[in-house]
Chains A and B, each alone.
Chain A
Amino acid sequence: MAEVPSGYTVLHERPKAFYDTFERKGELQQQTHYCPGCGHGLAHKMIARAIDELGIQDRVIAVSPVGCSVFAYYYFDTGNVQSAHGRAPAVATAVKRSRPEAIVFSYQGDGDLAAIGTAEILHAANRGENITVFFVNNAIYGMTGGQMAPTTMLGQRTTTSPLGRDPFNEGYPLHVCELLATLEAPVYLERVALGNAKQVMAASRAIKKALTNQVKGLGFSLVEILSPCPTIWKLNPAKAQERVREEMVKVFPPGVYRDHTTERAARPAPPPAPGLDELPRLLDLEGHEFDRTGLERPAGLDLRIKVAGFGGQGVLMLGEVLAEAGLLLDLEVSWLPSYGPEMRSGTSNCHVRIADQTIASPLVAQSNVLLAMNEPSLRKFIGDVETGGWVLYNSRSLPEGVTAPAGVEVLCIPFTELADTLGEPKAGNIVMLGALLEAAGQLPAAAIDRALEMHVKSARWLELDRRALELGRETARKELANAYV
């Protein structure tokens, strides 16, 4: 390098927001990994300069994408997060919301932002997240070797549009700025190009403005950067730049698509998330304390319960009360509902597991308790009950032709009819619960009663359910006594 003559001072030099050395590889630690003449290098440099000029290096958190720029975190000497393909705006949202004082930008290619990540960018923009997005549009998937991108131009040949993009086969190029400009929330949307020095200077200003907006707290800003990819376009850097200047800008006109930066006030800071200790109150779970003293945590318990019936028979609620009681006893619990699209009628069932060991799967394929509220459910599930298990069926006897597997205890009681005698056939599920507690009595009555109290808000129903529970217990007690005389 030549000696700089005396009398000259530095005007432009390597931005400070870059690491001094890039540690990705053992050699060439001053260079990026981008191809000669690639727009990513330029975009990085403009961002780094803007960070320097705004004096925000210590506050910046960059979210890098999947694509050629996946290694952006090796270059920016800032906070860095690398996100899954297309998800950068969602990640940036989380980072910004949890660290509102940080300046968060996502950096994304057109495959990343406009193909796999279409939903994320749209909704982040629509929410007006106070983040900055740098969108590098090179009309192609670079990293994977030149497949068509949503932004590929009509007629452009790619490995997946070898005959040239045809609107009737592959659709039209997606105009991201125009699309986002239909939304209320974004504050600033501008498309710039890297087609010559003049365009580069304009791009540089837009990038700085997009970061400045965030410093001011104004909201969502995006800069789309029409960018050369000499390698995949199979053009030398100067020709690739020319293509940006001559061809791309015709398809994607540069310009400001939204600028509300003068009229918008800073977005209000997001309200702080409530503390953990506030959650019981917010979720209306207060007063749910339960005194476990004197109650034994049933050791070796492994209840695998299937509750099945018609929708409206209280199948899911019965399962919930069981699961809740398990929670109150400090047991491991899972509750998995399974029902058709219809909320009423149709069959529904739930899988409940209550165990003193960690539950690996909430699914109950082999049950040791089947609570069948109707015949179809009984027929469907009785074959899956294990030896030593229980079947409780909502009738006086098993239907014709149905037998329980060997070693399975069966208790047939017309629960709905019994509930009817209390004046409410819908309480049949709770009568059944009472019978279950009597038959397979591992769950203490106090826990069940407390769980009921938590689930049943109306005093009339709670009183009714308590009577239903007792009726179930009593009936089962008698039935069992008869069975064993």
Chain B
Amino acid sequence: MTQPNVQPDRGYVTISAEECKGCGLCVEACVPRVLALAAHLNHQGYHPAEYAGAGCTGCGLCFHCCPEPGAITVYKLARPAAA
């Protein structure tokens, strides 16, 4: 739940755990370091990347550095948050 006096993050990211090969290149690319490889394995035996859930700037670098077609989707905040 967004609190009225806190600015929401400019971006958001989802990672499809079953499409991810756990290469970690998105983790390397993320400047605010809000991505990490999970401790658990996906069905292929890779540690999938995960978003910490906060702090994404929506820069898109993780998307551009991910070799898988659809493992990562990046979102941006549609309208500026009301002051």
Task: Tell me, yes or no, whether A345 is within 8 Å of chain B by CB.
Answer: no
Taking A8-B76, A10-B73, A14-B69 as contacts, is the C-beta distance between A30 and B17 under 8 angstroms?
no
Interface of B is mostly: loop
CB distance from B82 to the nearest CB of A (A): 11
Task: Tell me, yes or no, whether B61 is within 8 Å of chain A by CB.
Answer: yes
Taking A36-B23, A238-B28 as contacts, is the C-beta distance between A45 and B14 under 8 angstroms?
no
Pair A36/B46 contact, Cβ less than 8 Å: yes
Residues of B contacting A204 in the complex (Cβ-Cβ under 8 angstroms): 64
Pair A237/B75 contact, Cβ less than 8 Å: no
Pair A39/B67 contact, Cβ less than 8 Å: yes
Q: Which chain A residue lies CB-closest to B46?
A: A36
Taking A42-B65, A197-B29, A201-B64 as contacts, is the C-beta distance between A30 and B70 under 8 angstroms?
yes
Pair B21/A9 contact, Cβ less than 8 Å: no
Residues of B contacting A48 in the complex (Cβ-Cβ under 8 angstroms): 69
- List CB contacts (< 8 Å) of A30-71 with chain B: 30-32, 34-42, 44-46, 48
Taking A7-B79, A32-B68 as contacts, is the C-beta distance between A12 and B46 under 8 angstroms?
no
Task: Tell me, yes or no, whether B58 is within 8 Å of chain A by CB.
Answer: yes
Pair A11/B76 contact, Cβ less than 8 Å: yes
Residues of A contacting B46 in the complex (Cβ-Cβ under 8 angstroms): 36
Task: Tell me, yes or no, whether A5 is within 8 Å of chain B by CB.
Answer: yes
Task: Tell me, yes or no, whether A282 is within 8 Å of chain B by CB.
Answer: no
- List CB contacts (< 8 Å) of A462-483 with chain B: none
- Rounded to whole angstroms, the CA-CA distance of A48 and B70 in the bound complex is 12
Binary B-proximity of A195-225 (CB < 8 A = 1, otherwise 0): 0110011001000000000000000000000
Task: Tell me, yes or no, whether A15 is within 8 Å of chain B by CB.
Answer: yes
Residues of B contacting A201 in the complex (Cβ-Cβ under 8 angstroms): 61, 64
CB distance from A9 to the nearest CB of B (A): 5
Pair B60/A44 contact, Cβ less than 8 Å: no
Residues of B within 8 A of A (CB-CB), count: 40
Task: Tell me, yes or no, whether B11 is within 8 Å of chain A by CB.
Answer: yes
- Rounded to whole angstroms, the CA-CA distance of A5 and B10 in the bound complex is 12
Pair A12/B73 contact, Cβ less than 8 Å: yes
Binary A-proximity of B53-67 (CB < 8 A = 1, otherwise 0): 100001011011111
Task: Tell me, yes or no, whether A2 is within 8 Å of chain B by CB.
Answer: yes
Pair A4/B69 contact, Cβ less than 8 Å: no
Which of A2, A15, A236 is the one whose CB lies under 8 Å from B69? A15
CB distance from B58 to the nearest CB of A (A): 6
- List CB contacts (< 8 Å) of A291-319 with chain B: none
Pair B69/A36 contact, Cβ less than 8 Å: no
Binary B-proximity of A355-397 (CB < 8 A = 1, otherwise 0): 0000000000000000000000000000000000000000000
CB distance from B9 to the nearest CB of A (A): 9
Which of A4, A14, A32, A197 is the one whose CB lies under 8 Å from B67? A32
List 26 interface pairs A-B (beta carbons < 8 Å), by A numbering.
Answer: A1-B16, A4-B14, A5-B12, A8-B78, A11-B11, A11-B63, A11-B74, A11-B75, A13-B70, A13-B73, A30-B68, A30-B70, A31-B19, A31-B21, A34-B67, A36-B21, A37-B24, A40-B67, A44-B69, A45-B68, A75-B69, A197-B28, A197-B65, A200-B65, A236-B24, A238-B24
- 7 closest cross-chain pairs (CB), A and B: A41-B67, A14-B70, A37-B23, A36-B21, A8-B75, A36-B23, A237-B23
Which of A's residues lie within 8 Å of B, judged by CB?
A: 1-2, 4-5, 7-15, 18, 28, 30-32, 34-42, 44-46, 48, 75, 196-197, 200-201, 204, 230, 236-238, 241
Q: A1-B14, A11-B58, A12-B60 are in contact. List 17 more A-B contacts (CB 8 A).
A: A1-B16, A5-B8, A5-B12, A11-B11, A11-B60, A18-B69, A30-B18, A32-B68, A36-B23, A37-B24, A41-B68, A42-B65, A45-B67, A48-B69, A200-B61, A204-B64, A241-B28
